[in-house]
Chains A and B, each alone.
Chain A
Amino acid sequence: MSRLTTEKATNWIRPLPERLVNKIAAGEVIERPASVLKELVENACDAGATQVDVIVEKSGVGKIEVHDNGSGIRASQLEIAFSRHATSKISDFSDLESISSYGFRGEALPSIASVSRLRMVTKSAEDEHASEIIIEGGVVREVRPSHRADGTSVVVEDLFFNTPARKKFLKAETTEARQLSRAAISQALGALGVGFSLRLNGRKVFSFSKDDTLRQRATRSLGVAENALLEIDVSEPGFRLWGVLGKPDVARAVRGGLTLYVNKRALRSSPLLSAFYLGYGELLPKGVFPIGAVHLDVDGSLVDVNVHPAKNEVRLSQDREAHTFIRHSVRDTLRQSGIIPEFGLRERNVFAPQYDKPSAAVPGVGVVSGNAGLSPSATDAIFGAVSPSIASNQSHVASPVSGNVATFDAKDAVAEGTPAELFAGGVIYLGQFADLYLLAQRGTDLYLVDQHAAHERILYEETMEQMERNAALSQRLLLPVNVELATDRFQVWEERKDDLATIGFDASHFGGQTVMINAIPAILAHRSPEKTFGAALDDIQRLQKSGYSPIKAVAQSIACRSAVMSGDRLDPEEGKVIIDRLFKCDTGYSCPHGRPTFVKISRAELDHRFGRT
């Protein structure tokens, strides 16, 4: 009986020890070094600091220091500050309804302290001395008087030293560094009126004075010219949307360039971001996203920030209205700036020559075939105006095809081409259809080839091959171009500059986040060096995520950007070259993105369809 009791004792339900609770909570709040930075900076801002300085060593695994000149913590309160759900920011439930501070859950400090060695020196104006607390893995080691001006300094070292599982999940130092600077920038663009600096791994990433405007901060951190940003400021009862938005030509192939702040809180992902994409509409092609930093001010009582411990999400009680409001505001702002053409002007016009109204049936070419019942002469009479274009279309597509179509009949095949070409794997180019598909015959099969995908595959393999041979050609620039890069692009460049050089981008560091482009790949020489370079960095960033090696990512980027486009009309020579080279590729059946390059239709399948079997 007693044995049974002891056995059961292990299954008893008991409250967890506080240290374990903190460690579990830390798992939600403190995901990675960037989360420490975010929480500490938010605390500093909540303490009314006007200057926050952040120093990070070894991408946060070594050390994260945050110094502020805020109100500090009274010596008597210091230990309580590190117990969970202790906060000075709200005191009763009603405060939760309208939160104006960043923090309120009272989780951050104990969570950080439980997974690191933390030292805090703080002085409140009410105390005569500063005090210092040292905590290791959530255990208070020492509390002692210290000295410091009003404000707080927190030094977090050996993050995750006692949670090896979490530590193992940290990405490469460069990835964590990117996350850190992204987190810091997102704070800096949110906390206007607070001076802000970041030193990351010994390099000054930015330093904003407290008077720097959102536009100034955004210009520098997004790495764009000041006139590339549009001012937006639209109010409606209940909402105000204000900040800066990038013009369509500085849009990026990655999403992270646009930050939305709802009541100063940066949102990493939100359905509201899609309202911006919709606002830009067709101004941006698919896969290209706007940049900017925009604040949405909403009545605090309409926002629920208590959705996730890291507070990267919020819930709006009027999210539909907010969505519509943002979409319209963005569209109107773009329109007022003249980027969206004003349709009103077209309508106000003007002069429309009064031709005889064409008959309603004319518009589509498709109608012609639908009218097969009409006598040819009647069709001509009605569609006389349309027929020249049809005829030219037909001749373009049909002539090369019809010239060889007869070869499908085995008897004529001998006459039309040598047997070797027809039956021993030789490829015959037949023509182009719809300015998009190339038709080719190989053996007894018909191939429909997507010209863009095929060309991309060819260029991709060639670029790869050139890079492997170190033989990529590069066009030197007479006037080197200085580009100030956004932080994420800059880091990609730092990581990948050798690979970029291999394919023909010669760029050198020019201080800060500015890079001087001295040469670009010759096959891209007709494009803007600045745009080409930025696009390559974006592509690397994007494709690396899907597991591409950097060289492959760059090769793919170049291939995609220099391939013939869908809709380009090709000379028979060009079409033939693409077909010939495609069938020489190692992996000719798909483009570098994995889309198929061709569809094969066998002679047997066609015979079957025509009832010849």
Chain B
Amino acid sequence: MKFSVSRSTLAGYLQSVLQVSPSKPALPILSNIMIEALEQKVKISATDLDISITATFECEVSKKGVVAAPARILYDIVRELPESEIKFELSGSKLEMKAPNGTYKIATVEVDDYPTLPAINLKKQIKLAGSELMNMISHTTFACSTDETRPALNGVLWQTKSDRMVMVATDGHRLSRYTVANTKLKGLHDDVIVPPQALNLLTKLMTDTSKEIGIIFGENDLAFNLGDITLTTRLIEGPYPNYDQVIPKQSTKTMRVNREELASAVRRVSILSSALTHQVRFSISGSKLKLSSANADIGGEATETLACDFQGDPIELGYKASYISDILNKVDSEETLFELDSPISAGVIYGADKNKEDYICLIMPLRLAE
């Protein structure tokens, strides 16, 4: 194997691919990346067995070949080298890197030991605007569960239904649902559950959201084609719970409140919330929203009162502060609407100037045990 590539090109791609290379891998071989020198191009790939990233770039290849080498060490060397053309050559079992400064040699690994990346059993392929995908991902992944006893909730449900796409995430305490209309999806019906790690990685790799992204739906995998970089992820097995039935269809109370004011008040009041439950109480009546908290450990209490536009009978409920904060960070509009019913039923939160169908969050209250 013999090729040469500019330091900056390689460093950039190594950095992208390294996102998936675990620092403390379960299998030591996974701390390596695979380098394939093909006809006038080089392909580098890394995997943690669930998610794989492959980068392909054009370069001068004088001898084809394939090799696996320790990823971090390779990257650390390349990053530190001054900008120049680096010549790679496999001599024996060592990978040799020649730069104007000098020569570096690192031991390589038997390629046969490297896990084969999943071959995608193609079911469907679509293209989607990068910005749409980005929006869906950034508004949902925060609500995923980490409870291993319900693996489906560890992922984001991605539904494609003829003319729209929906992403849903929930941990059983709160839920987020983001919908985009898309007329190009005609005929495609599919529900997949995607690990949020893969989606968050994708947003890091998506440098230009104005570009379209190719999405390949496989039997057990999903691949995102960003042109020079491909991210492949295993899908999580379903079934996903029927989330539709927990979204309240009607409410008896609605509150409209300034989002930024509420978010910062919650942040302040929560400082004195109980260290165990992090509860912030909402007392709403007339046009006033009173937030309060109490922490018995340090003997502290806090209250703040905000103006709001409230319709319905007065209500008192408690929420975990971080759940409310997470949601308020995502509902990006000036005013937020809360649709409430009782202190034990799910509250619906969405942006007042947005269509409720596009993005809603659900939150379950805390309450005194009976």
Chain A contacts to B: CB under 8 angstroms: 249, 341, 345-346, 348-351, 353-354, 459, 462, 470-479, 481, 501-506, 519, 521-523, 525, 527-531, 562, 577, 581
B349 to chain A, nearest CB (A): 13
Closest to A578 in B: B297
Using A522-B366, A529-B172, A577-B297 as known contacts, say yes or no to A350 and B277 having CB atoms under 8 A apart.
no
CA distance A562 to B274 in the complex (A): 14
A473 touching B170 by the CB < 8 A rule?
A: no
A478 touching B366 by the CB < 8 A rule?
A: no
Does B140 sit within 8 A of A, measured CB to CB? no
Q: A-facing mask of B350-370, CB < 8 A → 1, else 0?
A: 000000000000101111111
B368 to chain A, nearest CB (A): 6
Of A350, A459, A506, which is within 8 A of B109 by CB? Answer: A350
B297 to chain A, nearest CB (A): 5
B364 touching A476 by the CB < 8 A rule?
A: yes
Q: Which of B319-353 contact A (CB under 8 A)?
A: 320, 344-346
A426 to chain B, nearest CB (A): 16
Q: A-facing mask of B95-112, CB < 8 A → 1, else 0?
A: 000000000001111100
List chain A residues, Cβ under 8 A from B370: 470, 501-502, 506
CA distance A503 to B369 in the complex (A): 6
Does B80 sit within 8 A of A, measured CB to CB? no
Interface centre among A462, A521, A522 (most CB of B within 10 A): A522
Using A479-B241, A522-B320 as known contacts, say yes or no to A354 and B173 having CB atoms under 8 A apart.
no
B368 touching A478 by the CB < 8 A rule?
A: no
Does B179 sit within 8 A of A, measured CB to CB? no
Q: Which of B102-129 contact A (CB under 8 A)?
A: 106-110, 113
Closest to A475 in B: B366
Does B279 sit within 8 A of A, measured CB to CB? yes
B367 touching A476 by the CB < 8 A rule?
A: yes
A353 touching B147 by the CB < 8 A rule?
A: no
A476 touching B28 by the CB < 8 A rule?
A: no
A510 to chain B, nearest CB (A): 15
List chain A residues, Cβ under 8 A from B32: 350-351
The size bracket of the interface on B is 35 or more
Interface centre among A341, A351, A502 (most CB of B within 10 A): A351
Using A350-B113, A581-B297 as known contacts, say yes or no to A473 and B173 having CB atoms under 8 A apart.
no
A478 touching B246 by the CB < 8 A rule?
A: yes
List chain A residues, Cβ under 8 A from B243: 479
A527 touching B173 by the CB < 8 A rule?
A: no
Q: A-facing mask of B227-244, CB < 8 A → 1, else 0?
A: 000000000000001010
Q: How many A-B residue pairs have CB under 8 A?
A: 123
B147 to chain A, nearest CB (A): 4
Of B28, B70, B275, B368, which is within 8 A of A470 by CB? Answer: B368
Closest to B171 in A: A478
Q: A-facing mask of B262-278, CB < 8 A → 1, else 0?
A: 00000000000011110
**Lowest 5 CB-CB distances: which A-B pairs, in order?**
A522-B277, A504-B369, A476-B364, A472-B369, A523-B276
List chain B residues, Cβ under 8 A from A470: 368-370
List chain B residues, Cβ under 8 A from A349: 28-29, 109, 113
B323 to chain A, nearest CB (A): 10
B326 to chain A, nearest CB (A): 14
CA distance A350 to B106 in the complex (A): 13
B173 touching A475 by the CB < 8 A rule?
A: yes
CA distance A144 to B370 in the complex (A): 58
Of A354, A481, A506, which is within 8 A of B369 by CB? Answer: A506
Does B149 sit within 8 A of A, measured CB to CB? yes
Does B175 sit within 8 A of A, measured CB to CB? yes
A478 touching B369 by the CB < 8 A rule?
A: no
List chain B residues, Cβ under 8 A from A503: 369
A477 touching B279 by the CB < 8 A rule?
A: no
Of A354, A501, A522, A528, which is within 8 A of B276 by CB? Answer: A522
Interface centre among B241, B296, B320, B366 (most CB of A within 10 A): B366
List chain A residues, Cβ under 8 A from B344: 476, 519
CA distance A395 to B244 in the complex (A): 54
List chain A residues, Cβ under 8 A from B110: 350
List chain A residues, Cβ under 8 A from B367: 473-474, 476, 519
B107 touching A353 by the CB < 8 A rule?
A: yes
Does B150 sit within 8 A of A, measured CB to CB? yes
CA distance A501 to B366 in the complex (A): 14
Chain B contacts to A: CB under 8 angstroms: 26-29, 32, 69-70, 73, 106-110, 113, 147-150, 153, 170, 172-175, 241, 243, 246, 274-277, 279, 296-298, 318, 320, 344-346, 362, 364-370
A29 to chain B, nearest CB (A): 42
Interface centre among A478, A504, A525 (most CB of B within 10 A): A478
Interface centre among B28, B149, B173, B365 (most CB of A within 10 A): B149
A336 to chain B, nearest CB (A): 17
Of B108, B149, B175, which is within 8 A of A351 by CB? Answer: B108
Closest to A466 in B: B369
List chain B residues, Cβ under 8 A from A502: 369-370
Using A522-B320, A523-B277 as known contacts, say yes or no to A341 and B26 having CB atoms under 8 A apart.
yes
List chain A residues, Cβ under 8 A from B346: 476, 478
List chain B residues, Cβ under 8 A from A473: 274, 277, 279, 318, 366-369
Using A351-B32, A527-B147 as known contacts, say yes or no to A477 and B173 having CB atoms under 8 A apart.
yes
Closest to A504 in B: B369
List chain B residues, Cβ under 8 A from A472: 368-369
List chain A residues, Cβ under 8 A from B298: 577
Using A475-B364, A477-B172, A531-B149 as known contacts, say yes or no to A350 and B29 having CB atoms under 8 A apart.
yes
CA distance A478 to B298 in the complex (A): 32
Of A475, A479, A581, which is within 8 A of B246 by CB? Answer: A479
List chain B residues, Cβ under 8 A from A505: 369
Using A346-B28, A472-B368, A477-B172 as known contacts, say yes or no to A522 and B148 having CB atoms under 8 A apart.
no
List chain B residues, Cβ under 8 A from A504: 369
CA distance A506 to B149 in the complex (A): 19
Interface centre among A350, A471, A481, A562 (most CB of B within 10 A): A350
CA distance A523 to B369 in the complex (A): 12
CA distance A479 to B362 in the complex (A): 11
List chain B residues, Cβ under 8 A from A345: 27-29
List chain A residues, Cβ under 8 A from B241: 479
B109 touching A476 by the CB < 8 A rule?
A: no
CA distance A348 to B147 in the complex (A): 33
CA distance A529 to B346 in the complex (A): 18
Using A502-B369, A519-B367 as known contacts, say yes or no to A525 and B173 having CB atoms under 8 A apart.
yes
Q: List 22 A-B contacts (CB under 8 A).
A: A349-B29, A349-B109, A350-B110, A351-B69, A473-B366, A473-B367, A474-B367, A475-B364, A475-B366, A476-B173, A477-B364, A478-B174, A479-B170, A481-B150, A501-B370, A502-B370, A503-B369, A506-B369, A506-B370, A519-B367, A528-B148, A528-B150
Closest to A558 in B: B276
A537 to chain B, nearest CB (A): 15
B172 to chain A, nearest CB (A): 5
B291 to chain A, nearest CB (A): 16
List chain A residues, Cβ under 8 A from B69: 351
Closest to B29 in A: A350
CA distance A502 to B369 in the complex (A): 6
A350 to chain B, nearest CB (A): 5
Closest to A352 in B: B107
Closest to B108 in A: A351
B70 touching A478 by the CB < 8 A rule?
A: no
CA distance A154 to B106 in the complex (A): 80
List chain B residues, Cβ under 8 A from A348: 113
List chain A residues, Cβ under 8 A from B27: 345-346
List chain B residues, Cβ under 8 A from A351: 28, 32, 69-70, 107-109
List chain A residues, Cβ under 8 A from B147: 527-529
List chain A residues, Cβ under 8 A from B175: 478
CA distance A585 to B366 in the complex (A): 27
CA distance A348 to B109 in the complex (A): 11
List chain B residues, Cβ under 8 A from A471: 368-369
17 new A-B contacts at CB < 8 Å, known A350-B28, A350-B32, A473-B369: A249-B148, A345-B29, A348-B113, A349-B113, A351-B32, A476-B345, A477-B172, A478-B170, A478-B173, A478-B246, A481-B150, A481-B172, A506-B369, A506-B370, A519-B369, A528-B149, A529-B172
